[in-house]
Structure 1
Amino acid sequence: MLENLSLVFVGGGFGAVCRYLVTTHVGARFGTFFPWGTLVVNTVGSFLMGFIMGMLLLLFERMGTGISEYARLLLTVGFLGGLTTFSSFSMETLTLLRGGSYFYAFSNIGSNIVLGLLAAFLGVLLAARLSA
């Protein structure tokens, strides 16, 4: 159990640092009137989750095994859990709503949902193509 917690801790810390770097860079590049940084990390994280889980499923179907549970904890629960952020998405959307920026608030909601689902689907699709 301590080993599993350590993997999630290390992966989550690395993911959180990556989230900070990406959102800071994207905000500096494109401005902060819209939460572009959070949208980028959530979309990329969704793609990576789809790809990793797609690869795991395909490896299991073909070989009866996938990457280890340790790798899954490190990569998906830890790193991607630290990288992506529903709490930031929620707070940024609430801030936009409270500021009267309804168009940006609902654009943020729609963009995160649509791009997140599309990215996860593309990750699974890429995993399937790479393993073919």
Structure 2
Amino acid sequence: MEWFEDIYGREGLTMRERVIATIAMLSVLNLESELKIHFVAGTNAGLTREEMEEVIIQSVAYGGFPKAINAMKGLKGSREGAERVASVISGFAGRTLPFMGIYPKPRIVIYVIKVSLERRDVARHMYKNFTNMRSSP
């Protein structure tokens, strides 16, 4: 695994920053077993549980709600993790977020997540439409 040492030994980021990036990527890729290893690495690098939660929550717009729930389950345990993601995301629904004027599509993602918490059948339809829209320029 010499290549791994070469990558992790680079000087561009601190170990803490590398672990944050890795947790974000593994969350989006839905690699739960690898995430568990990096949650331990995160703790060893000085990340708090709350910081790792926030990294997962930030990945929702890019990886989707189900992947964030899976990542949170790995961090916190099955039911508690899903409830934590749901509570944080549903709190966004009534808020104007700072990036809304710059990036209009996250507004749709937040709305889809809110609806998915309430009505899964409607959320599936909305997700299909969002996926089609996201792939267009």
TM-score normalised by length of structure 2: 0.34
Q: Which has the higher contact order (CA 8 A, sep 6+)?
A: 1
TM-score (structure 1 length as normaliser):
0.35
